[in-house]
Structure 1
Amino acid sequence: MSDRITTPLLSIPRLGLGTYRLTGAAGQAAVESALAMGYRALDTAEMYGNEVEVGAGLQASGLPRSDVFVTSKVWWDHLSPAEIRQACETSLRKLGTDYLDLYLVHWPAADMDLHRVMHDMTRLREEGLVRAIGVANFPAGLLKRAIETGAPIAANQVEYHAQLSQDRLLEVTRPNNIVLTAYSPLGRGVMTENPVIRAIAARHGTGAGQVALAWLLRQDGVAAIPKASRPESQRANLEALALAEQITEADVAELNALPKDQRFVNPAFAPDWAA
């Protein structure tokens, strides 16, 4: 299994660092630690309020900009034509970079003009501000509509873990060469307490979090961006890449059999997930 997912539109590390709530000096230190350890993908967003820290951590790493895959996102109430470009330029300025590797619509807005939004996102790519575009929190039906606009959608970032199914979405992303990026891949820590996952981890002499991540990372077209501020947690998550090749079909069957209906991220402005 390669540690990158390569499609016609992008090549992205299978495992990246999620930075939600990693702010201030501690946030910058977490970014620096992860990059020093071998992470090569950073995920941020204008809403996170930490693009300055993420950019500073990237700068302090000394790595060539081209070595690190940087994702940011435009917030759902900034989707008018002028605002999308302004939001992107602001993110670039805060991050201290000339381009983003991936720029996403963070959440769909109920009243958005989908064709216009995807057109304006595509313009950012055509003008070189971003290398690839995509969406986040788009259910299967809405993603299909976005694809029909003709926009070169490279990724859809959604909550995905061993207790939440995304089978309907994967039926759309895989044939369309769209990467499904899993946020909250540990279900805000719930996966680490699951007795089935803990039993599998014990058999492999590893942690439950690593098993939950490995279940995702072994899947075709799926990347994951767990948040981790402590070096020991970052290292454990990184080790899940190797575990993904070691867990057995029996292990996978047990994980597949877990209930898949636990959603932890569901704000008032969320779309209809069944759409």
Structure 2
Amino acid sequence: MIAGLAVGILAVVLLVITMNLAYGLDTSVISHNHNPVVTTIAGERTTELSLGQQAMIQISAHNNMATPQPFVVVVETRDGNGFTEYLAWQEGTAEADTDFEMQFSWTPRPTCEFYEDCEKREIRSFVLSSLVEPRALSAVSTKGSITVSGIPTEVPPLDQRYGVPLHNRIYNVTYSFHEGSGSIADIAVSRDARTLTLSVDTRQDSQLIMAIQKPLIDYTLDYTFSGNGTQSFELYVHADGGDTLFERFTDLRKGLVMYVVNIERGTEQVTLGARLL
């Protein structure tokens, strides 16, 4: 039930951000007195937290109506890549023409690793009329420039290499196992299937980190169509018998695309692919 509500609230987050009128907007009903405030448990304001450190998010707003107003305050935290880390909401009723405050307990969690934006956080808050047929009652209020220490942001040395021949050139895939150990035994490229498949031999459950030269990724995974342009597609990673979570970063300066994938012990086929939506 909670997971379903979270999905629904997240959908409304997108609606509010894009100012979609499907649910109706009346953002003058509630106004924020100030942007979200982050404090320690001791009540001290801060913009620097440690991974796993409990903090409080304080929201202060005003009901501009001359009558009591039911509301739902929604708070979301995002990392530097725009991924939602935390989503919560509280319901209440504000008296006519009065201020009200809400507090949310937040403990930062890692959303990614090996990327400088993984330690950045932005807090977003807005007010809805209800969770059923929600109507936006306020604009989105944000607080950025929050950092979370304790998250690895430096890529470990990629000390292994596999060369992929393509068009009379060798494109290198450099890699290492951040957790565990192993090796890549083979890499097969299929432009027709839009896949790059690795045969990986691991001695224990492992986290594979690899940097692939961008021309190799562009050749295999990018969909390009003539006529009406590029059709929508999604990138995926298939490992351990099914779709698996992964991280993907592009370093345009070095012309590299980096993947971080968790794989199980043994010999596995890890497929990087693109499929139509």
The structure whose residues are more often strand, as a share, is 2
- Regarding TM over 0.5, the answer is no
Structure ID, larger Rg: 2
Query: Which structure has more RCO (C-alpha within 8 Å, separation ≥ 6)?
Result: 1
| TM superposition score category, shorter chain reference | under 0.3
**TM-score between the two structures when normalised by the length of structure 1:** 0.23
TM-score normalised per structure 2? 0.23
